[in-house]
């Protein structure tokens, strides 16, 4: 089953924000944004811009009718800078003109008088200044202080992790169209239609029932359009409210890159203690998260760092503390993995550090400490673990020892080319860690011609969620998928949605769709009973467009049954609600059962480093991954391959560079490099973990969006091993491992 959008994609007929037919009278917005990272905004001179050709109006903070605020968790993010600017790229004024080019031209004519204040870009400096966005968060299990006293080996160190630009190929954007009675429809490239609706209502003062948010699809999201789409929707909404005109804003790439937040950089400290048998007895970590200028989603990202700070290992004594540090960078935000990768990198670094000092392979330590079913996570949940099975199945299939031996033999013969191998187990919790967000709704209509329309809260952004929703409805009704159409994500049809995030959209919205279809199906079965002379609905099923009785096809067609139900005045529509059962978390104790289930896997990553030039290639990523029972192997394989490559990018070439003034230097595709077709692993092999455990996923298929990204972390350690094979060195645990860092470690 291919992604149902494939055909319109390859024919160029799929509609993205900038492809929506433009309504007559549309104005084009362009933002004048702050040229400095921190300062007092004294005055704005917009006179030249107002006189510029085609300019309709220039809007500043004082024009905003509602509240000048879009901060969701903490109200610390003005839509337009008012008295202070907090990062370079922060919107100050909105220019509206009759064309995009004229709006951009006029925006360049605006100037602002800003008294510069001290710029902080380092999270440790912010923490030392006491500038935390929320109080520190802490997970404690056992007693690390006591446990360290019993450890034979103790190692301490520090890691640095850089951010990551989402680089969705479609930039951010929104288009607001005025409706009757002061309301508006907002098209937005967002993962969170309800978040956009709330932000729009806040800045305009409108009630939520006056604002319709509609999302056809995104040209990539990866977390970057979860909260960060709100500003652009807020901007066009404010402009539409003030001008009564449709207003559109599709950002240019450089505007997008400088104004939007990225994956959070972290600076972290660790202390790991092992016994004589290499069992990890105690682990302490402090995470300094670079949150940027405002809260955005930083606290839940920080929390997930804690949730995954021990990756797929059982450690009986853990103290992990995390600090949400305010700096003068754009507000950093969700990015596939949502803090999880940052937590995992630190424990993997600690293990690599210990192995290096003890003269053993890190694999030995990793293997000895894998989570077993029944082990407790530092947050109190009891593991239903596949860590050992995925490790064993990966090893059986790909033979780690043989791959390591091949690398060693190659290295013995080769002067400048060196191979490195590393293992990367993962364990990733599925559910929003904020329990109330684990709910979803689905609206299913069956029309009298037998066709089916599905609307859910899930946003399609390439991950194939609409395909999975269509599959659920088709399966429930025994229809070919061609009978089902999944419609735009729209706040009038589905209200109060959770964002499409946390790898949870297919589960939550799929379950809701399943419930809606079940309800309609059960009504239809009541109609069908006399028609197929059945006694009980238990005898009935829907398959291949016909009612079946005791597995035998009857003459009653789907379409006939549907029409009959309609004639008997039985509803063919249903709006269903699903909430994940059995989950919860108590922050007062920092214990609970936050996740519906975990996804496990183990990857082996092999690289070759050219030690003459400092370049490297990834030879292979071979993994055993826990799909549960995949609903769609083509879609899921795509998520795994794509996730791995995105993770590789983060640990290798993707380098977000800000200067000390908080100016983004890697501000375009020419200076920020994501993997191209030649930088991907020559071989990606994926083995489906064989397991028959039940779980809370839709049709027992496990979530697949985020977990594979973390296999990419293995590339960092594989490169490190190759570098160490060339020369006796101990490269700092400092992401990303750019060719520059490789060469400097090889020779300096």
Partner 1 sequence: MIDFILNDQDICTGQPPGTTVLDFVRYHKDLKGTKIGCREGDCGACTVMVGELVGDQVKYRTMTSCLMPLANAAGKHIVTVEGINPPDGSMTPVQQAMVDESGTQCGFCTVGFVMSLTNFCVDDTAKTREMAVSAIDGNICRCTGYKSIERAGSVVSGQLSVVSSLTDVADKLDLAIKSKVVPSYFSGIKERLAKVSEKSNRQPTTDNRQLQFVSGGTDLYVQHPEHMAESDTTPLLYDEQLRGIRDVGEHIEIGGSATVTDLLVSPVMQSVFPHLYKHLKLVSSTPIRNMATLAGNFVNASPIGDMTVWFLALDASIVLSVASASADASAERDIKLRDLYLGYKQLAKQPDEMITAIRFKKPGGDFRFNFEKVCKRTYLDIATVNTAISLSVASASADAFTITDAHVSAGGVAPIPFYLKETSAFLTGKIVTEATIAAANEIMQSEISPISDVRGTESYKRLLLRQLFRAHFYEVFGA
Spatial neighbors of 218 by CB under 8 A, at least 6 apart, are 16, 168, 170, 189, 190, 191, 225, 459, 460, 461, 462
The reply on whether position 412 binds partner 1 by CB under 8 A is: no
Instruction: Kindly identify the residues of this chain, within the stretch 14-33, that bind partner 1 according to CB under 8 A.
Output: 14-16, 18-19
Instruction: Kindly identify the residues of this chain, within the stretch 241-280, that bind partner 1 according to CB under 8 A.
Output: 250, 252-253
The reply on whether position 461 binds partner 1 by CB under 8 A is: yes
Binding residue for partner 1, selected from 612, 690, 727, 732, defined by CB under 8 A: 612
For 16-49, the DSSP string reads -GGGSPPPTT-EEEEEEE-SSSSEEEEEEE-HHH
The reply on whether position 622 binds partner 1 by CB under 8 A is: no
The reply on whether position 707 binds partner 1 by CB under 8 A is: no
Separation of alpha carbons 704 and 599, rounded Å: 8
Rounded to 5 degrees, φ, ψ at 443 are -115, 120
Spatial neighbors of 402 by CB under 8 A, at least 6 apart, are none
Give the range of 168-176, 194-202, 476-484, 713-721 binding partner 1 by CB under 8 A: 168-176
By beta-carbon proximity to partner 1, the closer residue of 61 and 644 is 644
> Shortest approach of partner 1 to residue 177 CB, angstroms?
18
Give the helix, strand, coil percentages of the chain, each rounded to 5. Answer: 35, 25, 40
The reply on whether position 465 binds partner 1 by CB under 8 A is: no
Binding residue for partner 1, selected from 154, 242, 358, 669, defined by CB under 8 A: 669
3-state secondary structure of 372: coil
The reply on whether position 496 binds partner 1 by CB under 8 A is: no
Spatial neighbors of 128 by CB under 8 A, at least 6 apart, are none
- Could you say which of 13, 303, 706, 740 is catalytic? 706
Pairing of strands 266-274, 317-326: unpaired
Give the range of 432-440, 456-464, 555-563, 572-580 binding partner 1 by CB under 8 A: 456-464
Nearest alpha-carbon partner for 80 in 96, 55, 63, 98: 63
Structure tokens at 736: 């990303």
Give the range of 64-72, 487-495, 587-595, 649-657 binding partner 1 by CB under 8 A: 649-657
> Shortest approach of partner 1 to residue 726 CB, angstroms?
12
Spatial neighbors of 585 by CB under 8 A, at least 6 apart, are 379, 433, 435, 591, 592, 593, 594
> Shortest approach of partner 1 to residue 452 CB, angstroms?
22
By beta-carbon proximity to partner 1, the closer residue of 18 and 160 is 18
3-state secondary structure of 596: coil
The reply on whether position 54 binds partner 1 by CB under 8 A is: no
Q: Which residue is it, tokens 């706040």?
A: 491
The reply on whether position 740 binds partner 1 by CB under 8 A is: yes
Give the range of 367-375, 376-384, 542-550, 737-745 binding partner 1 by CB under 8 A: 737-745
The reply on whether position 663 binds partner 1 by CB under 8 A is: no
543 counts as catalytic: no
Binding residue for partner 1, selected from 72, 299, 606, 642, defined by CB under 8 A: 642
Binding residue for partner 1, selected from 463, 471, 490, 514, defined by CB under 8 A: 463
Instruction: Kindly identify the residues of this chain, within the stretch 202-231, that bind partner 1 according to CB under 8 A.
Output: 217-222
Separation of alpha carbons 393 and 426, rounded Å: 14
> Shortest approach of partner 1 to residue 496 CB, angstroms?
26
Rounded to 5 degrees, φ, ψ at 638 are -60, -40
Separation of alpha carbons 456 and 249, rounded Å: 26
The reply on whether position 645 binds partner 1 by CB under 8 A is: yes
Give the residue numbers marked as catalytic. 706
């Amino acid at each position: 089953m291919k992604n149902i959008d494939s055909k319109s994609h390859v024919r160029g007929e799929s509609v993205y924000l900038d492809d929506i037919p433009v309504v007559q009278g549309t104005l084009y917005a362009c933002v004048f944004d702050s040229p400095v990272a921190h300062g007092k905004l004294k005055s704005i001179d917009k006179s030249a811009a107002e006189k510029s050709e085609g300019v309709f109006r220039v809007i500043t903070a004082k024009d905003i009718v509602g509240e000048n605020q879009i901060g969701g968790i903490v109200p610390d993010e003005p839509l337009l800078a008012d008295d202070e600017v907090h990062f370079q790229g922060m919107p100050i004024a909105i220019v509206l003109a009759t064309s995009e080019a004229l709006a951009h031209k006029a925006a360049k004519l605006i100037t602002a008088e800003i008294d510069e204040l001290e710029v902080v870009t380092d999270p440790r400096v912010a923490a030392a200044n006491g500038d935390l966005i929320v109080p520190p968060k802490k997970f404690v299990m056992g007693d690390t202080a006591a446990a360290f006293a019993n450890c034979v080996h103790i190692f301490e160190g520090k890691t640095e992790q850089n951010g990551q630009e989402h680089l969705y190929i479609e930039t951010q954007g929104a288009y607001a169209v005025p409706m009757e009675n002061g309301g508006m429809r907002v098209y937005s490239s967002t993962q969170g239609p309800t978040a956009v609706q709330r932000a729009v209502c806040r800045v305009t003062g409108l009630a939520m029932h006056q604002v319709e948010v509609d999302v056809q699809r995104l040209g990539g999201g990866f977390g970057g359009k979860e909260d960060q789409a709100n500003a652009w929707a807020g901007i066009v909404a404010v402009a539409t409210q003030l001008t009564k005109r449709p207003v559109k804003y599709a950002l240019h790439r450089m505007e997008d890159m400088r104004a939007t937040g990225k994956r959070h950089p972290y600076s972290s400290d660790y202390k790991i203690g092992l016994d004589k048998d290499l069992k990890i007895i105690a682990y302490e970590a402090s995470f300094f998260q670079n949150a940027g200028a405002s809260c955005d989603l930083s606290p839940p990202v920080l929390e997930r760092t804690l949730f995954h700070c021990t990756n797929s290992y059982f450690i009986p004594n853990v103290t992990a503390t995390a600090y949400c540090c305010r700096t003068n960078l754009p507000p950093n935000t969700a990015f596939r993995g949502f803090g999880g990768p940052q937590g995992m990198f630190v424990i993997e670094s600690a293990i690599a550090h210990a192995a290096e000092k003890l003269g053993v392979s890190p694999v030995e330590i990793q293997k000895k400490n894998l989570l077993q079913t029944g082990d407790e996570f530092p947050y109190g949940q009891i593991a239903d673990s596949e860590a050992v099975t995925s490790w064993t199945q990966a090893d059986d299939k790909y033979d780690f020892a043989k791959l390591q031996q091949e690398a060693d033999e190659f290295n013995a013969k080769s002067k400048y080319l060196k191979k490195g191998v590393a293992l990367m187990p993962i364990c990733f919790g599925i559910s929003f860690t904020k329990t109330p967000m684990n709910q979803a709704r689905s609206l299913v209509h069956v029309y009298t011609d037998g066709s089916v329309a599905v609307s859910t809260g899930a946003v399609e952004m390439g991950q194939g969620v609409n395909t999975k929703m269509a599959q659920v409805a088709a399966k429930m009704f025994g229809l070919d998928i061609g009978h089902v159409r999944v419609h735009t994500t729209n706040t009038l049809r589905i209200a109060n949605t959770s964002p499409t995030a946390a790898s949870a959209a297919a589960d939550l919205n799929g379950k809701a769709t399943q419930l809606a279809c079940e309800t309609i199906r059960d009504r239809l079965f009541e109609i069908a009973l006399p028609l197929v002379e059945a006694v009980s609905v238990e005898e009935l099923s829907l398959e291949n467009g016909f009612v079946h009785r005791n597995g035998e096809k009857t003459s009653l067609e789907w379409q006939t049954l549907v029409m009959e139900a309609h004639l008997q005045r039985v509803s063919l529509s249903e709006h269903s609600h699903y909430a994940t059962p059995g989950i919860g978390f108590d922050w007062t104790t920092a214990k609970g059962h936050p996740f519906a289930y975990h996804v496990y896997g183990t990857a082996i990553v092999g690289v070759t480093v050219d030690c003459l030039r400092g370049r490297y290639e990834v030879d292979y990523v071979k993994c055993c991954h826990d799909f549960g029972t995949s609903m769609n192997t083509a879609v899921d394989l795509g998520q795994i391959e794509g996730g791995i490559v995105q993770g590789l990018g983060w640990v290798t070439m993707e380098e977000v560079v800000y200067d000390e003034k908080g100016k983004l230097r890697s501000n375009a595709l020419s200076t920020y490099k994501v993997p191209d077709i030649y930088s991907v692993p020559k071989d990606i092999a994926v083995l489906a973990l064989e397991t028959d455990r039940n779980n809370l996923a839709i049709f027992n298929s496990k979530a697949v969006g985020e977990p594979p990204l973390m296999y990419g972390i293995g590339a960092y350690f594989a490169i490190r091993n190759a570098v160490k094979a060339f020369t006796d060195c101990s490269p700092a645990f400092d992401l990303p491992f750019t060719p520059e860092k490789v060469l400097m470690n090889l020779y300096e």
